[in-house]
Structure 1
């Protein structure tokens, strides 16, 4: 429950946008494993990783100004799909880092990668696909419309970033979704 509250607070009270930070820049969030994050095997529960990544996503979007832009435009985002790869478990009181970054976007969605490490060792990698929609009409907002607004807000009017080529594993994963999700 506390991770949901932490995520809500991070979303509702976003950190100030960091000058010079673009949508493509990584953001590192340092967190600690708490008792409520554990399952009966005394390791972080697989579902908890998504909550941890949610906290890091909100921090990432707050620091690059996307949360303020979304609030101003009455947009909200939701998860369309996610994929996870677990390597090493996290245990009670472990400090770890979630490095979140946007590896790219397509016509409909943003992809956000989360790499969770402890002492430099990979523990978990997740890729989460987000779609933004207008709050009242529920009409989708194209990332191609959002990125120029973010660039303008960040002072990069002449250098609007293009989506980098998505990693091959992300492309293969996205193609594997049923047509209804596209």
Structure 2
């Protein structure tokens, strides 16, 4: 909710920025705002993922994907994510969110996102996303039919498969009891 207005503003302003293909990398310039920081006056670790949502929305809006997703009644959801931090983004600092689809498989569309300032990576995340329609996953065949096949040289890094297998929770239709091992 705290980024709702920024997201709506971004969806409006991204339409005026240069168009991209969903397979291109997007670069979204931002500045660290007081609502992004914690008591240490740097971007809160949990806030990075919320800000990265803006980067994915920018790519989707500029590529026309967002309109197509909404027209079909699809909703993007995050299925898994991991992040590594290198440096802290400070209050009022300018930075960009770099976003790129790095591949897809039968279960997810994978993004790499980077927070970059002064040409240096401050944080990098990998996000597994899905499109759902009425609570059910949209098939990759439908997605490719709507947006086109990925570039031939787009190859999902091998470690992503291991990460998804070891990080994933059981599907919503299977039990996931809370028991500490």
In 2, Cα distance between equivalents of 1:177 and 1:149: 29
Q: Is the 8 A contact 1:80 1:131 kept in 2?
A: yes
Distance verdict in 2 for CA 1:18–1:150, change over 3 Å: farther
Q: Is the 8 A contact 1:10 1:59 kept in 2?
A: yes
1:161 equivalent in alignment to 2:158 = no
Corresponding residue of 1:106: 105
Corresponding residue of 2:49: 50
**Deviation for aligned residue 1:180:** 1.2
Within a 5 Å distance, the mapping from 1:1-182 to structure 2 comes to 2-11=2-11, 15=15, 21-134=20-133, 137-151=134-148, 160-161=149-150, 164-178=154-168, 180-181=170-171
Q: Which runs of 5 or more residues in structure 2 are unaligned? A: 173-181
In 2, Cα distance between equivalents of 1:57 and 1:114: 8
What RMSD in Å do the two structures reach over aligned CA positions?
A: 2.3
SS in structure 1 of the partner of residue 161 of structure 2:
helix
Distance verdict in 2 for CA 1:70–1:143, change over 3 Å: same
In 2, Cα distance between equivalents of 1:138 and 1:12: 27
**Deviation for aligned residue 1:119:** 0.2
**Deviation for aligned residue 1:46:** 0.6
SS in structure 2 of the partner of residue 39 of structure 1:
coil
* TM, length-normalised to structure 2: 0.84
In 2, Cα distance between equivalents of 1:14 and 1:37: 21
Q: Is the 8 A contact 1:115 1:122 kept in 2?
A: yes
**Deviation for aligned residue 1:175:** 2.3
**Deviation for aligned residue 1:11:** 4.7
Corresponding residue of 2:179: none
Q: Is the 8 A contact 1:30 1:98 kept in 2?
A: yes
Q: How many pairs are equivalent?
A: 171
**Deviation for aligned residue 1:76:** 0.5
